Amino acid sequence: MNLHRLAAACALTLAAALPAAHATTVPLSAGSWALFNADLDYFGDQGVRDYNSDDFAAAHFSFTIASGFQGTLTLVDLGFSGDAFTLRNGATVLGSSSLGVNGDTSGAAEFSADAALANSAFGRASFTLGAGGYDITGVLSASSNGFNASTGALKLEVSPVPEPATLATLLAGLSLLTVVLRRRGGSK
């Protein structure tokens, strides 16, 4: 039995021994990774599961982005490469991750979210979010590694939105710089 099949068999055995899962709200803190599990064979398309829950409760990742700020939500595949996820905010689909940037759908194994994000074998997606409240859920939408089970991670990064006055000042400065550079170029 190869390593892939052994890992899948262990995950299915563990999942089968657990009681029925309930929904859990997982607060998503800015700047840190939140891990989740997904298993099409055991959970079907019922969604991703709380990685830290003893009963693999369905995961809802909740957070609020304050007015004047924007967020970047990053999604990455973990475990064995070759999986894609679809994320939703409530009933609205945000989008899906790729299966892997370099086409390697079953060769790489990585359990660090930062390392997986840096490895082009792993699927990833990035979503820009405006101010407001979010309730993120997801499903394993594709699995080409033969497991139909995976682990993934989400990370939220929040930054201030540039104010219109700041942008106007920047554009005015660039315009002035362009005029000065053209005059210098014309006097040679």
Chain segment 50-61, per-residue pLDDT in tens = 676 666 777 888
- Look up tokens 């997606």; give the residue: 125
Mean pLDDT, all residues of the chain: 77
Whole-number Å distance between alpha carbons of 138 and 146: 20
At 180, is the pLDDT very low, low, confident or very high (cuts 50, 70, 90)?
Answer: confident
Residue 1 predicted with pLDDT over 60: no
Cα–chain center distance at 164:
29
Domains of the chain, with CATH numbers? 3-163 (2.60.120)
Q: Which of 42-46, 146-150, 154-158 reaches the highest mean pLDDT?
A: 154-158
Residue 70 predicted with pLDDT over 80: yes
Instruction: Find the mean pLDDT for residues 152-176.
Output: 81
What confidence score (pLDDT) does residue 105 get? 54
- Exposure b/e, 81-117, CB count within 10 A at least 16 = b: bbbbbbbbbeeeebebbebbeeebbbebbbeebeebb
Residue 89 predicted with pLDDT over 90: yes
- Look up tokens 């924007």; give the residue: 70
At 102, is the pLDDT very low, low, confident or very high (cuts 50, 70, 90)?
Answer: low
Residue 62 predicted with pLDDT over 80: yes
Residue 76 predicted with pLDDT over 60: yes
Percent of the chain clearing pLDDT 90 (strictly above): 27
Residue 84 predicted with pLDDT over 60: yes
User: Nearest-CA neighbor of 124 among 73, 60, 183?
Assistant: 73
Whole-number Å distance between alpha carbons of 102 and 105: 9
